[in-house]
Amino acid sequence: MIAFHFGPAERPLFGLFHPAEGGTPDDRAVLLCNPFGQEAVRSHRFYRVLAERLARLGIATLRFDYHATGDSPGDDLAGEIPGWVADTRAALRELVARSGARRVVCVGARLGAVMAVRASTGLPELRRIVLWDPIVNGQDYLELLRVKHVEALESSFSLADPAWREQLAGDPAAFTDEAMGFAMSPALRQQIRQVGPHSLPLPPGVPVQVIVRDDDAAVRAWTATFAPRGIAFQSWPLAESFDWTAEEDRNSPLVPPAALAAMMKAIRD
Amino acid sequence: MTEPTETIARFGDDERLLGIVTLPAQPRADAPACLLMNAGVVHRIGPHRINVKIARALAALGIASIRIDLSGLGDSPPAAGGVHSSTQTVMDLQAAMDHMERTLGIHRFIVFGLCSGSVHAYWLAQKDPRIAGVVMFDSYVFPTFKTHVLRRWSRLRTQSWASLARKPLEWLRRKPRVEPRAEGEESTDPHMKYPTRADFARVLNDLTGRGMSIYLYYSASFLEKFNYHGQMHDLFGREPFMQRVRYDYETDVDHTVTSLHAQRKVLASVVDWAQSVAAGSSGSST
């Protein structure tokens, strides 16, 4: 694994490149696009294990932090989707340059699906998009973040303040400028609010693999539109969801075997 | 203000460990560098990116830092084995200091330890003379009689009258529960043994007696064992270290600094304390 900085000098990004280590020589390479905020912290170990397994099978993989996230420069409030899409394009170029791959698989989890889809469109090497529990309704996602933020407070403080629930129920503006430990600018909130099927313009001719919970009706409704549009699509249903928002000290697995197996198949098969 | 520079560090045996060094644009002469590490299994950025925020805030004051992934956590692979994990942790932190000494010529260090990190910081401080100061965020707690009274009272206040009316019957039906002892708990790992109150006092007296700055910070996440500001004074009021440490108990801060308010508060306190250590003061305010 090689840790490094890449991208434009005025906007460097932190990356971790896993070169192909063995297995059958493969001309594929994989880019892993992070979710947002606590969900990215939560999936860090999953992505690391996934990258290591792919590298051992001969598939080079790149992980990276968008601007204003993780180890990349920038304050939380500087995070915004158009910038993150540009960061993802820079990461795709870096992956192709470092790996020499002729085929690229772009993977996006949660909000990372938006970056994966938008950034990879037009990339000549793009051969497959893999999305895991993608966010297809930004308004619902913002509301989920509000609820999960209050749940996180209730879980972390010994004594929950009843006012948190009252604010959550009575004031739609409450808990909108932060989500489970991460600041959100008004611009980012607006950009997330606008996320919908229209903001996931799947590139024509590129197969899409979607790993999704059995009961995620929004994603299922979205993928139901693929066949009429001629989009090659395969679904990898999961009986149990990954716990995207839990704190790390809670008792839920960071690398669920079923999700890892589904991800490996979705990327390789 | 000029932005700090961040570089990637590989260090330890076979350069196995990963860290990010944050270098101030204008380093402060003779300032210690800060060690930041994992809290629980969160990778080097810390819960809610607090380590990154601390690193960059310290850099603005001229203080360098390294935030690291300990063996087997984040992006550092596990060690070959053979020693207890907490011993390995001390070795990892010492390797990070060796790296900073070798590359930057810094010989004094402060440590920010949150959650499991506070335990690691406690042991590192006893093992390595390069440590000038330690933040122990939610470290060892020793309840008093008043702690238990306050805990029961605070629970009662949140319950309905109907629920309270059922309590006597519930108490009669309750079976005796055997809880593991926190104090002096046995473990095969010498560093993971929960110190007794006397051990804790002895260690802190020793460390502060040597001139080390200690910052004890308690959040509102363990109210069953720590729930009033005077608790440390009731326990250790006669111990010399209580006159030398900085000590805060904050009811609006939680264990993983979830709210931005909590993050700002912790950040301001830690940076203020670090500045005082860099200036050569003990930073005490009990």
Three-state DSSP state, A147: helix
**pLDDT exceeds 90 at position B11:** yes
| Interface touch A73/B6, C-beta < 8 Å | yes
* Chain B touched by A253 (CB under 8 Å): no
* Chain B touched by A254 (CB under 8 Å): yes
Show which of residues 30-89 on chain A sit within 8 Å of chain B, judged by CB atoms: 38, 41, 44-45, 48, 69-71, 73, 76
CATH number at residue A80: 3.40.50.1820
How high is the pLDDT of residue B183?
Answer: 54
Give A262: exposed, middle or buried? Use CB within 10 Å, 0-12, 13-18, 19+: buried
pLDDT in tens, A204-221: 889 999 999 888 999 999
Residue B165's pLDDT band, with cuts at 50, 70 and 90, is confident
Which residue in A has a C-alpha nearest to residue B223's C-alpha? A158
| Interface touch A157/B220, C-beta < 8 Å | yes
pLDDT in tens, B65-98: 999 999 999 999 999 877 888 899 999 999 999 9
- Tokens encoding B268: 């301001």
How high is the pLDDT of residue B189?
Answer: 66
| Interface touch B220/A73, C-beta < 8 Å | no
A181 → closest Cβ in B43, B47, B74? B47
Residue type, B129: P
* B221: CB partners within 8 A, 6+ apart: A156, A157, A158, B138, B254, B255, B256
**pLDDT exceeds 60 at position B178:** no
CA distance B267 to B281: 19
| Interface touch A45/B43, C-beta < 8 Å | yes
A3 → closest Cβ in B8, B40, B254? B8
Strand order across the beta sheet in which B246-249 lies: B5-11, B17-23, B65-68, B33-36, B109-114, B131-137, B213-218, B246-249
Asked, for residue A45, whether it belongs to a domain, the answer is yes
Would you say B194 and B202 are in contact if contact means Cβ atoms under 8 Å apart? no
* Chain B touched by A147 (CB under 8 Å): no
Residue type, A67: H
Question: Which DSSP category does B112 fall into?
Answer: E
Cβ neighbours, 10 Å, residue A122: 9
How high is the pLDDT of residue B1?
Answer: 55
Give A166: exposed, middle or buried? Use CB within 10 Å, 0-12, 13-18, 19+: exposed
Greater confidence (B115 vs A35) lies with: A35
How high is the pLDDT of residue B281?
Answer: 66
CA distance A255 to A45: 7
Asked, for residue A142, whether it belongs to a domain, the answer is no
Domain coverage including residue A227: 2-136+197-268
pLDDT in tens, B91-109: 999 999 999 999 999 999 9
| Interface touch A153/B258, C-beta < 8 Å | yes
Asked, for residue A214, whether it belongs to a domain, the answer is yes
Asked, for residue A74, whether it belongs to a domain, the answer is yes
Half-sphere exposure of B278 (CA within 13 A, CB side): 22
* Chain B touched by A21 (CB under 8 Å): no
Half-sphere exposure of B113 (CA within 13 A, CB side): 28
Would you say B263 and B248 are in contact if contact means Cβ atoms under 8 Å apart? no
- Rounded to a whole number of angstroms, the CA Rg of chain B reads 20
Look at the alpha carbons of A63, A179, A189, A109 in this order and tell me if their dihedral is positive or negative.
Answer: positive
Half-sphere exposure of A36 (CA within 13 A, CB side): 30
Which residue in A has a C-alpha nearest to residue B252's C-alpha? A157
Give B158: exposed, middle or buried? Use CB within 10 Å, 0-12, 13-18, 19+: exposed
Chain A CB contacts of B115 below 8 Å:
249
How high is the pLDDT of residue B190?
Answer: 64
CA-wise closest residue to B111 among B276, B285, B249, B274: B274
**Domains of chain B (ranges plus CATH)?**
5-145+177-278 (3.40.50.1820)
A178 → closest Cβ in B45, B255, B259? B259
Which residue in B has a C-alpha nearest to residue A181's C-alpha? B258
| Interface touch A41/B45, C-beta < 8 Å | yes
Residue A253's pLDDT band, with cuts at 50, 70 and 90, is confident
**pLDDT exceeds 90 at position B31:** yes
The residues facing B140 across adjacent strands are none
Would you say B236 and B242 are in contact if contact means Cβ atoms under 8 Å apart? yes
Asked, for residue A103, whether it belongs to a domain, the answer is yes
Three-state DSSP state, A196: coil
The residues facing A40 across adjacent strands are none
Three-state DSSP state, B46: coil
Three-state DSSP state, A182: strand
Which H or E element spans position B92? helix B85-104
Q: Which long-range contacts (CB under 8 A, 24 or more apart) does A255-259 make?
A: A255/A45, A255/A46, A255/A49, A259/A46, A259/A132, A259/A211
pLDDT in tens, B219-253: 999 988 999 999 999 999 999 999 999 999 999 99
- Tokens encoding A19: 């070169």
Give A22: exposed, middle or buried? Use CB within 10 Å, 0-12, 13-18, 19+: exposed
Asked, for residue A183, whether it belongs to a domain, the answer is no
Cβ neighbours, 10 Å, residue A255: 14
Residue type, A6: F
Asked, for residue A147, whether it belongs to a domain, the answer is no
CA distance A65 to A74: 11
State how beta strands A208-213 and A182-183 pair.
unpaired
The total domain count for chain A is: 1
Asked, for residue A191, whether it belongs to a domain, the answer is no
ipTM > 0.90, yes or no? yes
Size of chain A in residues: 269
In degrees, rounded to 5, the angle at the alpha carbon of residue A59 between the alpha carbons of residues A53 and A62 is 85
* B71: CB partners within 8 A, 6+ apart: B16, B17, B77, B78, B79, B85, B88, B89, B92
Per the listing, tokens 């101030």 go with B24
- Tokens encoding B112: 């920010």
Report chain A's terminal Cα–Cα distance, integer Å: 24
CA distance B282 to A150: 38
Residue B180's pLDDT band, with cuts at 50, 70 and 90, is very low
Q: What are phi and psi of A3, to 5 degrees?
A: -95, 135
Which H or E element spans position A18? strand A13-18
Would you say B259 and B229 are in contact if contact means Cβ atoms under 8 Å apart? no
% of chain A exceeding 70 in pLDDT:
99
How high is the pLDDT of residue A241?
Answer: 73
B20 → closest Cβ in A44, A71, A159? A71
Per the listing, tokens 């390789």 go with A268
* A162-186 mean pLDDT: 96
